[in-house]
Chains A and B, each alone.
Chain A
Amino acid sequence: MTQQSVGTAGVKNNVNESVSGSWKRARRNGLGALYRKEMADHIKGRRFLIILLLVAVTTAAGIYGAATGMKDALEADSHFVFLKLYTTGGSSVPSYVSFMALIGPFVGLMLGFDAINSERSNGTLGRLLAQPIYRDNVIIGKFLAGTVLIAILTTASSILTGAAGFLTTGLLPSGEELARVFVYIICTILYICFWLSVAIMFSVFCRHAATSALASIALWVIFAVFVSLLAGFFAGVIYPVETDYQKAVNALANYNCQLYINRMSPYYLYTEAVSSILNPAIRSVNAVTVSQLVGAISGYLPFTQSLMLVWPHLFGLASLTMLAFLISYVKFMRQEIR
């Protein structure tokens, strides 16, 4: 790829300039140069246009969904109107949030599925590493550039949706609503970053870009679709609810089992976290028994309490992201580069 060669030449220049500089400065320059090169590659690439189109269509569809479903949603409950822009869908169009949960992973996958193996197959990796830069800065730079791009796209898309809300409803968001949307954006960035790190991981393991792309998509399909099917299946095996007696005894355990299996899927974790943070009326993400609800009044949770509900989800997503990144990091560091 011509762009990558240009980028590599740039790195060479930078490194040459800083030969006389301190070791620290050289290290920083190495990472900075790699990061800038990756950003430039992404933004100048034709693939970025596809990503941009994907995000734009998602945003537009989300806004359309909110516009069509807003009237009914407001009639049901007129509190936290601004948040409803994100969570309301029309009769045929899903909400912005569920669009992002489905389409978001593609952004991450597209940014990362050929990160390492294309460099390898083009032969640029060896030349890159011939420069006096640390090997880990290559993979860190790729991850950093992808993360920043995801953050920019996600934030822009969310702000666009909110701005469309201003325009159509004329309502300004309250401070709490802004805080909730902010947490939502962080969640989404974290979620898409997970898929980025998964894609980079596959690109480290697979020699061909097509293989890593397929593997990433397969994992996405498994998490988005099959985990919930499997959860139902395993829960049914472990806690059968066939007869009335089994239903009476196992219903709660069955539900909890399904819930825990589902939560292994980042897709489910993300959906649960986002719906709790954007809907203050949700009081619990776990199964609630009738006895717990005696004397309960319907109301809205304060922002900090909603955060308390979802911190394990955020923690889980962050851990998964870090895990995928660490695996790819270790594998990349141990790989032989020819």
Chain B
Amino acid sequence: MSFLGLGGNPNAAAGGVNKLKIDAAEAELDMVSDMFNRLVDSCHSKCITQQYPEGALNKGESLCLDRCVAKYFEVNTKVGEVS
């Protein structure tokens, strides 16, 4: 993902490399925050009941969230695996 300049002109490419790096970092940040948001939405809809008798998470919900997050990441890695 990092596109380091391949032995190019160090003077001219300094700004270019920075920009590339910044772009790469931005893209990655977008991706991570997007994944996080999806994760939160998905696990919230699955694990947290629609009635709110209290504001704190209880044990059942916490456990469910643990499992949901673990599964989400596992699915992510499995789907993203090459071969």
The answer to whether A binds B is: no
The residues of B with any CB-CB pair to A shorter than 8 Å are: none
The residues of A with any CB-CB pair to B shorter than 8 Å are: none
